[in-house]
């Protein structure tokens, strides 16, 4: 049943991508309603099943209170940016720090930073993507640091490329900032988002592990939109349906993986779609947003359903020839309406997009650890 439903989503998406721009408005309604219902009924995606341990699906479970959490203290981790350091920014509650993800039919292995550093000795691990990748990158460096607090580290922070090296082990955790994965180029007539070009991918070569992420910036419009045109081939567009653009960009990334990744040398992951919690109607409380939320959503199924970007990601991953593993964090993250910085960030704006550290991205890294050590 699950496979049938996912294939249905894929068929709908394929049809969607063939619709001309003049038909897009009417078809959007049909596509969004149909694929949302089908995806919501699906227990697991085609790609996430690659990360199922024996008979256990790590992504199906519930949040449970655990007094032993968090896994580290934000006051002793030197790598957390102020925008994610909710406790230092005055967040008065702390229960959001105490929740552990519990799969229904198994237990996730407890994260062991020494095991991680030993197994990946002399290796390079790179997160590639937007500020959600920054969130996960800082989480992993903190999770490792708490195990070796006296180990020498070398930190390099730049706009495009940053790294933390644990010198004793020769392990380097890198972050390459590229919100779209495809190229963003300054040209005479303005900034152009190249949907079919990844020249920046040269920086990803030679890594032992790559963890990719993209989606949030594809939805930006107006002043927060960093490009003037989109381009595919020789044709430029002032805009197009953002799901179609995301699909095209992600398909370009998939071709890059197929051409450039040697699976015997490099493991590749894609971080699933990270949800936002700006709209309380998503969890049946339309008057609310993430500020003031102190508990996860505890219902069996998240009312907003599955994001359409999730369908796009699974469609693209199902066609990649090289092994790429999906960290299918979308559903488990949807429950965590309580885990955002909200107003407790560095500029006190309302942030229902990123996540406090310690916090939810630690679970994403526990899932990564589970795959690597199971």
Q: Which residues contact 277 (CB under 8 A, 6 or more apart)?
A: 283, 289, 290, 293, 337, 340, 352
E strand or H helix that includes residue 55: none
**Cα–Cα distance list, 333 to 47, 214, 288 (Å):** 18, 16, 18
Pairing type for strands 171-177 and 161-166 reads antiparallel
Q: Which tens digits make up the pLDDT trace of 168-198?
A: 999 999 999 999 999 999 999 999 999 999 9
Q: What are phi and psi of 171, to 5 degrees?
A: -95, 125
The predicted structure's pLDDT at residue 159: 85
Rounded Cα distance between 353 and 215, Å, is: 12
What stretches in the chain show pLDDT beneath 50? 1-12, 14-50, 52-53
What pLDDT digit, counting tens, does each position of 124-145 carry?
A: 999 999 999 999 999 999 999 9
Render pLDDT for 153-169 as a digit per residue (tens, 0 to 9): 999 999 899 999 999 99
Q: What is the rounded distance in angstroms from the CA atom of residue 31 to the CA atom of residue 113?
A: 44
Would you tell me how many other CB atoms lie within 10 Å of the CB of residue 14? 11
Question: φ and ψ at 79, to 5 degrees?
Answer: -105, -5
CA 372 to chain centre: 18
pLDDT attached to residue 24: 38
Distance CA 121, CA 153 (A): 14
The answer to whether the CB of 139 falls within 8 A of the CB of 364 is yes
Alpha helices in 124-197 (DSSP H): 131-145
**Prediction pTM value:** 0.89
Active site residues: 131, 351, 354
Q: What is the pLDDT of residue 374?
A: 81
């Amino acid at each position: 049943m699950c496979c049938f439903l996912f294939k249905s989503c894929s068929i709908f998406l394929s049809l969607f991508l063939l619709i001309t721009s003049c038909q897009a408005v009417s078809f959007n309604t049909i596509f969004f309603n149909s694929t949302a219902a089908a995806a919501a009924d699906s227990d697991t995606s085609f790609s996430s099943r690659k990360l199922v341990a024996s008979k256990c699906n790590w992504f199906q479970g519930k949040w449970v209170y655990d007094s032993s959490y968090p896994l580290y203290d934000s006051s002793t981790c030197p790598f957390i940016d102020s925008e994610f350091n909710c406790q230092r920014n005055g967040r008065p509650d702390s229960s959001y720090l105490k929740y552990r993800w519990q799969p229904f039919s198994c237990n996730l292995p407890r994260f062991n930073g020494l095991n991680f550093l030993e197994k990946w000795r002399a290796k390079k691990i790179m997160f590639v993507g937007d500020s959600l990748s920054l969130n996960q990158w800082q989480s992993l460096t903190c999770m490792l640091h708490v195990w070796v607090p006296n180990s020498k580290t070398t930190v390099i922070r730049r706009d495009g490329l940053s790294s933390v090296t644990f010198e004793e082990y020769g392990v380097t955790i890198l972050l390459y900032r590229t919100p779209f994965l495809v190229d963003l180029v300054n040209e005479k007539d303005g900034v152009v988002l190249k949907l079919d070009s990844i020249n920046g991918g040269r920086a990803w070569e030679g890594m032992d592990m790559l963890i990719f992420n993209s989606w949030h910036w594809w939805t930006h419009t107006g002043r927060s939109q960093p490009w003037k045109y989109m381009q595919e081939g020789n044709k430029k567009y002032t805009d197009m349906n953002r799901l179609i653009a995301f699909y095209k960009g992600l398909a370009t990334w998939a071709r890059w993986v197929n051409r450039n990744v040697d699976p015997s040398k490099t493991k590749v992951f894609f971080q699933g779609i990270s949800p936002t919690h700006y709209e309380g109607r998503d969890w049946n409380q339309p008057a609310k947003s993430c500020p003031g939320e102190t508990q996860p959503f505890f219902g069996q199924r998240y009312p907003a359903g599955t994001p359409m970007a999730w369908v796009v990601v699974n469609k693209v991953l199902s066609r990649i020839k090289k092994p790429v593993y999906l960290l299918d964090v979308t559903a488990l993250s949807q429950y965590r309406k309580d885990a955002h910085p909200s107003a407790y960030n560095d500029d006190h704006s309302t942030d229902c997009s990123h996540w406090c550290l310690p916090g939810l991205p630690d679970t994403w890294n526990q899932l990564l650890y589970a795959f690597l050590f199971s």
